[in-house]
Amino acid sequence: MGFIDYEVEGAVGIITINRPKALNALNADVLTELEQTFDAVDLKTVRCLILTGAGDKSFVAGADIGAMSTMSKEEGKAFGKKGNDIFLKIEKFPIPVIAAINGFALGGGCEISMSCDIRICSDTAMFGQPEVGLGITPGFGGTQRLARLVGAGMAKQLIYTARNIKADEAFRIGLVNAVYPLEELMPAAKKMAATIAGNAPFAVRACKKAINEGLQVSIDEGAAIEEDLFGACFETYGQREGMANFLRKKDDPKKVKKVAFLDE
């Protein structure tokens, strides 16, 4: 891969967007490679992903402005669909994806982070949707996901003003869950990913599906989705062993404290 690095540490996969000359901006090739990388993740053994950007300055500085500058209406729409399709794939990816945002997350960079399950960032990070200053709308999901994450009023303010915000403000409005000194960001992301990967894998995937699908429907339909997925967990190794472990601990607190959940 030319623009994407992928490494696996235990049950955690780390995907790094690596196009330093353009602050990791997303052109069609980067997007294609990103999709291929997600398609190649071994879901039998990898239980959580971290998505980050190469270098210490930028997560992703947006879609590639040079490439977009000469696009026709049809090409612009197709480019938006390409980005949206891949970001939807990330959002619906069976295992959790943590965005470790290590600098600029502008335009498509903010948008890709919002397609991830969890966002944490460095204190050097900067977020924004600068598109209206470039004569376009956000095009990789920004008009949809930002409003869902921080509320319509705040999303409209950020998008209409094209104002960038720093990490502390992103934290305050709920766009990111936590802010770390830059050097502590990846260790924190790995620690969180390892914690997630240490829980029952079938159950974690079911939680992601239930939350994501439930957000799209009424509370009654959401409850039905949850019931199906809750039921599906029973008779799995994770459910049997997780509960048996709790009961063993009750009998004798010295017995195994943490289940080593098998892949399932």
Residues designated catalytic? 111, 131
Minimum distance, C-beta of residue 21 to ligand CAA, in the bound complex (Å): 6
| Phi–psi pair at 237, nearest 5 degrees | -60, -45
Q: Give the range of 63-71, 146-154, 197-205, 235-243 binding ligand CAA by CB under 6 A.
A: 63-71
Q: Do you know the residue count of the chain?
A: 264
Among 11, 12, 15, 22, binds ligand CAA (CB under 6 A): 22
Given the complex with ligand CAA, which of 22 and 175 has the nearer CB atom?
A: 22
Q: Give the range of 35-43, 64-72, 93-101, 236-244 binding ligand CAA by CB under 6 A.
A: 64-72
Given the complex with ligand CAA, which of 13 and 83 has the nearer CB atom?
A: 83
Residue the block writes with tokens 């999901």 = 141
User: Which token pair is 124?
Assistant: 């050097």
**HSE, side-chain direction, 13 A CA sphere, residue 131:** 24
Contacts of residue 143, defined as CB under 8 A and 6 or more positions apart, other chains included, come to: 137, 155, 159
In three-state secondary structure terms, 77 is helix
Residue the block writes with tokens 């960032």 = 121
Q: Does 121 bind ligand CAA (CB under 6 A)?
A: no
**Rounded Cα distance, 26 and 34, in Å:** 10
Q: Does 127 bind ligand CAA (CB under 6 A)?
A: no
Other beta carbons within 10 Å of 13: 26
Minimum distance, C-beta of residue 185 to ligand CAA, in the bound complex (Å): 18
Number of residues engaging ligand CAA in binding (CB under 6 A)? 22
In three-state secondary structure terms, 126 is strand
Given the complex with ligand CAA, which of 65 and 233 has the nearer CB atom?
A: 65
Among 38, 49, 64, 190, binds ligand CAA (CB under 6 A): 64
**Rounded Cα distance, 208 and 116, in Å:** 11
Pairing mode of beta strands 12-17, 58-60: unpaired
Q: Does 53 bind ligand CAA (CB under 6 A)?
A: no
Among 46, 63, 101, 150, binds ligand CAA (CB under 6 A): 63
Q: Does 62 bind ligand CAA (CB under 6 A)?
A: yes
Tell me the per-residue interface mask from 94 to 113 with ligand CAA, x by CB under 6 A, - otherwise: ----------x-xxx--x--
Q: Does 87 bind ligand CAA (CB under 6 A)?
A: no
Whether the Cβ atoms of residue 129 and residue 99 lie closer than 8 Å to each other: no
Whether the Cβ atoms of residue 163 and residue 155 lie closer than 8 Å to each other: no
Largest CA distance in the chain: 70
Q: Does 130 bind ligand CAA (CB under 6 A)?
A: yes
Minimum distance, C-beta of residue 118 to ligand CAA, in the bound complex (Å): 21
Q: Does 61 bind ligand CAA (CB under 6 A)?
A: yes
Q: Interface residues with ligand CAA (CB under 6 A)? A: 22-23, 25, 61-66, 83, 104, 106-108, 111, 130-131, 134, 138-140, 142
